[in-house]
């Protein structure tokens, strides 16, 4: 049977553009993984590795106009948004190149023998080594930053791990173009092109996570798809780490004092955040706890005015559009749920943003309203009006893990008066990033960033954004009593590579 074709589709019309590939067979997946496995040695030299990452960024930047054109044709996200995302992707590659050059990620620790300790300490030398081939599952909503050349790929390559990426069906042509660009960068430094494999198709994704030479996986997508792959990774004869980003409601708590102080500004800010990218950000605020009184009414009016002025937009594909329309209709049909601005179809191919309101008391016990505590992908949020702080806290206690949690405080509360610190402590168990007086959309690529959270936000405690993302693809190893002449250079006393390390308890830079 011939392999199924892979088509590039225009989300603005739902029509096929071009056939760009075929779905990978089990044999094709095996070949891609084996080629990546064979390329491991070419990444061993950190100097070559960092140069490859920088060249990849340069080549992506040079090809930017054509890449953005293809990305827009396949995602309808718009040239401005995509140009910025490509710049972020190039920045990520360069940032990881800097991390590779510095070498602190190797976490070198050396202890010389100490017979006076109890028990005695032998000669111990510890550092981290790459896991092996990493499977990367591309996201739909970030065709550059969380796709073939995105953060998972950049951090894995930085760790010294070859990658086999599973292309997302919403941007297959772009995936092919980006893969060719990175392979060209690899060849420039004598690295085999197999260091970055690319496969298409649902079955290929299943084959990939089960391949015995795949050592770890990174995923960004739905709870259903991610959980299935996570379970498959755990069920292997040799289980592997699966770092999945699955879903997030990203709750926002607005105190009564904050609403009284600046309800209009909060409503306008919420509208901008929940409709950014047509609501297709994984950190879109999907649930807002707002007070039930007059200040909350002002907030809702501001949100109504702002959201009502946002034009309809295109979702990434028509399947997502159908799911969004069905999801908002089901939620809006629940008793006591109102729609000051009804989200729904904006035209034959578009959706219009909106929001729903519900008394917070409906969310404090299990029932049909549980649906309002689940992520709905697209430009919609739920505003739950609470009567008192205890009711708001009860709703928060029912929430699953999230990528982010936000609180809006008044000036006095932010200065330490009132319950500001207490609310912050209540939000901390819910999310990997807790914001005060801001909005979660927009994830800075920075050393201190953490993009993750308790399940189902992610399946691990690691981050997929920021410098420490490299740690996902490494494992520690300790040499005990090994003669100096046999040790890798990273662990020798004279430190020939000039690495930061902890040497007999002292931190050396």
Catalytically active residues, by annotation: 245, 282
The closest of 181, 176, 187, 145 to 60, measured between CA atoms, is 181
- β-bridge partners, 163: 134, 196
d(CA 233, CA 214): 10
293/7 Cα distance (integer angstroms):
52
Question: How many angstroms separate the most distant Cα atoms in the chain?
Answer: 78
- Are 106 and 465 in contact, with CB atoms under 8 Å apart? no
Torsion on CA atoms 389, 390, 396, 398, rounded to nearest 10: -160
Cis peptide before 119 (omega within 30 of 0): yes
Among left, alpha and beta (phi > 0; psi -120 to 50; other), residue 167 is beta
Q: In sequence order, what are the residues at sequence separation of 6 or more whose Cβ sits closer than 8 angstroms to the Cβ of residue 360?
A: 289, 292, 384, 385, 386, 387, 391, 392, 395
Residue 171 has, within 13 A of its CA and on its CB side, a CA count of 33
The Cα angle at residue 182 between residues 31 and 107, in degrees rounded to 5: 90
| β-strand pairing of 287-291 with 380-386 | parallel
> First CA to last CA across the chain, in angstroms?
59
Cα–Cα distance, 424 to 429 (Å, whole number): 10
At 126, phi and psi to the nearest 5? -120, 140
Instruction: Sort strands 380-386 and 163-166 into parallel, antiparallel or unpaired.
Output: unpaired
Would you give the DSSP letter of residue 126? E
Instruction: Give me the residue label for tokens 């969380």.
Output: 146
């Amino acid at each position: 049977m011939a392999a199924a074709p892979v088509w590039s589709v225009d989300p603005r019309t739902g029509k096929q553009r071009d056939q760009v590939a075929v779905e990978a067979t089990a044999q094709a997946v095996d070949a891609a993984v084996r080629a990546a496995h064979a390329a491991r040695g070419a990444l061993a030299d950190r100097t070559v590795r960092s140069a490859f990452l920088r060249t990849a960024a340069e080549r992506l930047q040079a090809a930017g106009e054509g890449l953005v054109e293809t990305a827009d044709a396949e995602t309808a996200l718009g040239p401005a948004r995509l140009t910025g995302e490509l710049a972020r992707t190039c920045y990520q590659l360069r940032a990881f190149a800097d991390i590779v050059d510095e070498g602190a990620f190797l976490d070198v620790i050396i202890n010389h023998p100490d017979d006076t300790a109890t028990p005695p300490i032998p000669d111990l030398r510890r550092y981290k080594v790459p896991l092996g081939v990493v499977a990367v599952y591309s996201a739909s909503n970030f065709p550059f930053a969380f796709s073939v050349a995105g953060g998972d790929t950049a951090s894995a390559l930085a760790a010294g791990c070859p990658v086999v990426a599973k292309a997302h069906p919403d941007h297959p042509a772009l995936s092919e173009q980006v893969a060719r660009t990175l392979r060209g960068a690899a060849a420039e430094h004598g690295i085999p092109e197999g260091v970055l494999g690319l496969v298409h198709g649902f079955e290929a994704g299943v084959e990939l996570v089960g391949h015995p030479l795949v050592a770890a996986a990174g995923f960004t997508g739905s709870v259903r798809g991610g959980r299935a792959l996570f379970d498959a990774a755990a069920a292997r004869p040799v289980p592997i780490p699966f770092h999945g980003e699955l879903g997030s409601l990203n709750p926002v708590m607005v105190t009564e004092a904050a609403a009284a102080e600046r309800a209009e500004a909060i409503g306008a800010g919420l509208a901008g955040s929940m409709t950014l990218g047509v609501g297709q950000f994984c950190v879109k605020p999907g649930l807002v706890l707002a007070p039930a009184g007059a200040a909350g009414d002002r907030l809702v009016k501001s949100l109504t005015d702002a959201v009502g002025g946002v034009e309809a937009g295109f979702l990434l594909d028509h399947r997502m559009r159908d799911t969004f329309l069905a999801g908002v209709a089901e939620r809006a049909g629940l008793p006591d749920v109102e729609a000051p601005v009804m989200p729904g179809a904006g035209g034959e191919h578009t959706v219009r943003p909106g929001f729903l309101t519900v008394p917070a008391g409906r969310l404090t016990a299990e029932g049909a309203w549980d649906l309002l505590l689940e992520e709905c992908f697209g430009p919609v949020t739920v505003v739950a009006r609470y009567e008192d702080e205890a009711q708001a806290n009860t709703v928060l206690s029912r929430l699953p893990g999230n990528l982010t949690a936000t609180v809006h405080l008044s000036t006095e509360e932010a200065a330490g008066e009132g319950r500001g610190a207490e609310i912050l402590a209540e939000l901390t168990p819910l999310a990997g990033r807790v914001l005060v007086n801001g909005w979660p959309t927009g994830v800075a690529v920075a050393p201190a960033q953490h993009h993750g959270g308790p399940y189902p936000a992610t399946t691990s405690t690691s981050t997929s954004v920021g410098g420490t993302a490299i740690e996902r693809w490494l494992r520690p190893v300790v040499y005990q009593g090994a003669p100096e002449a046999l040790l890798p250079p990273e662990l020798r006393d004279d430190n020939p590579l000039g690495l930061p390390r902890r040497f007999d308890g002292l931190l050396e830079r």
